[in-house]
Amino acid sequence: MNLDFKIRLINNFRKFTSSKKNQKTNNSLQKGLIMCAKIKKIKETNKEENKIYLVTEIKDLKPISLSKAELTYVEKQKKDLESNFITVNRFGYWIFIQFLKKNDDIYLTLENCRKDGDKALNTLNNLKFSKIQIENLSWKKDEVICFAEGMALSNYQYLKFKSTNTKKANSLKEILVAAEIVSANEITELNNVVDAIYKCKDLVNEPPASMTAKIFAKEAEKMAKEVGIKIEVLNKTKIEALKMGGLLAVNRGSVDPPTFTIMEWKPAKAVNKNPYVFVGKGVVYDTGGMSLKPSGSMETMKCDMGGAAAVASALYLIAKAKLPVHVIGLMPATDNRPSGNAQVPGDIIRMYSGATVEVLNTDAEGRLILADALHYAKKYKPELVIDIATLTGAAANAIGRYGIVAMGSKYKNYMDDLKTSGWNVFERIVEFPFWEDFDELIKSEIADIKNIGGPVAGAITAGKFLEYFAEYPWIHLDIAGPVFLDKKDSYRGSSATGSGVRLFYDFIKNKSKK
């Protein structure tokens, strides 16, 4: 058999099996939702049922009828053990007393509430509760909301591939909030946020075999349909016709075609004349391509579409809340693999913008597909473009999982607004320097620019590469650190975290008020 023919046979077989496989797994994507504990508002709590009282000081316990012995016990636990979550067993039901962990910084106080929500949730699941009542005795509105948010987000599990005998599904299904200051609308909003984060996590956690570019686009279509978002998916033929050279170059090593998904939320009474455009990196799997990654660094690379997943989920959430803001999402998607036809270091490619790029490392692929999307964004005359991407190990090395690395240009006040949102949802933004001096690091001898910058400032040179294609107010977010965790981080959990979704939602929500 001639070798070329043999390779074609193998490729065809892969196409066949992967499409079969995909049909099967496709239907069952987003199983995580089963675990989603619903939050409900109730008027008052049932007396003889499990509940958590939210209090600030001992004296807040006055309205509830603790016995003398119980009160002494609570005081002792609080003072001697410095415990802020105290359990009282009423033999038949349980009472939990959650003290507020106050900080001078309001954002830290609220984050403590979310973290305490996570801790409480673990206790409740260990006790196999299916529901819990929360009664507010002294907390402020946002504190109650954040506590419930921490609980609900923390309840996420990815159990799709667990067999019945190894599956340990969380028991908690209902979080009943008795707090006058929290409105029914705020509870609905909270459920929507949790739903969007669960969706985003499911997309990112899905294994590479069943998360091709096409499947990603299909999932985005499902989400768009549900909330009335206009969506268009450009297929390979269209991408070729447009000459999106960056996306096509990365896709050359793949047997699966690329996609370019465009979501548009354009409400009738939008507050903005020109749209906000979110651009998400959708590398559904990053092997590094011919510049192959060592296997250890490859293990988690299904997270490389975390940016695209965040954009789809954020738009879903924005539309679900019917925010009166015109927002567009662009999600270029492909996997990055070596093959007989893959691009190699030394290749020069022509991008969608017409610029030429010397590709010196095929593992710096995210910037290639994002550059085409950034050029595409120009046609909308955007008010602001924010791209979000698992772009560099350098960003993750610089600040770890603790925040999002940001940079940008011509962004007016928007960087400050985004930083404020970062504090609001505790997805903290760290702005890196973006001096002109860095420009020279991506200059190429033989093309317009090259796709790597050298040993220093890797996150910044990646940003500089993108800036070359961003001819409008623009911010770049590198989420390589926080997007996917090897160890649980409180309510964010482990594996996919949904990084960027709550951030974008808060940012657009604040715009809708202006």
Give yes or no for a contact between 85 and 99, defined as CB atoms under 8 angstroms apart. Answer: yes
Q: Which is nearer to ligand BES, 361 or 444 (CB)?
A: 361
Instruction: Name the minimum Å distance from CB 304 to ligand BES.
Output: 5
C-beta neighbour count of 502 within 10 angstroms? 26
Q: Is residue 367 annotated as part of the catalytic site, yes or no?
A: yes
Biggest alpha carbon distance in the chain?
Answer: 88
Q: Which residues bind ligand BES (CB under 6 A)?
A: 286, 303-304, 361, 363-366, 390-394, 396, 452, 458, 480
Give SS3 for 413. coil
Residue 393: contacted member of ligand BES, Zn ion, none (CB under 5 to 8 Å, by partner type)? ligand BES
E strand spans, 75-212: 85-89, 94-99, 131-136, 174-178
Instruction: Name the minimum Å distance from CB 490 to Zn ion.
Output: 27
Is 363 an interacting residue with respect to Zn ion (CB under 5 A)? yes
Residue 177: contacted member of ligand BES, Zn ion, none (CB under 5 to 8 Å, by partner type)? none
Q: Which stretch binds Zn ion (CB under 5 A): 232-240, 264-272, 284-292, 369-377?
A: 284-292
Is 366 an interacting residue with respect to Zn ion (CB under 5 A)? yes
The active-site residue out of 252, 281, 367, 492 is 367
Q: Is residue 293 annotated as part of the catalytic site, yes or no?
A: yes
Is 286 an interacting residue with respect to Zn ion (CB under 5 A)? yes
Give yes or no for a contact between 176 and 124, defined as CB atoms under 8 angstroms apart. Answer: no
Q: Which is nearer to ligand BES, 261 or 392 (CB)?
A: 392
Instruction: Name the minimum Å distance from CB 300 to ligand BES.
Output: 7
Residue 386: contacted member of Zn ion, ligand BES, none (CB under 5 to 8 Å, by partner type)? none
Instruction: Name the minimum Å distance from CB 248 to ligand BES.
Output: 17
What whole-number distance in Å separates Cα of residue 94 and Cα of residue 173?
A: 17
Which residue shows structure tokens 């003290």?
Answer: 99
Looking at the DSSP bridge assignments, the partners of residue 176 are: 40, 133
Give yes or no for a contact between 150 and 115, defined as CB atoms under 8 angstroms apart. Answer: yes
The active-site residue out of 78, 293, 350, 378 is 293
Q: Which stretch binds Zn ion (CB under 5 A): 144-152, 359-367, 411-419, 436-444?
A: 359-367
Give SS3 for 88. strand
Give yes or no for a contact between 35 and 170, defined as CB atoms under 8 angstroms apart. Answer: yes
* Total count of residues recorded for the chain: 514
Long-range contacts of 22-25 (CB under 8 A, 24+ apart): 22/210, 22/212, 22/214, 22/215, 25/206, 25/209, 25/210
Instruction: Name the minimum Å distance from CB 209 to ligand BES.
Output: 19
| Catalytic residue list | 293, 367
Binding site for Zn ion (CB under 5 A): 283, 286, 304, 363, 365-366
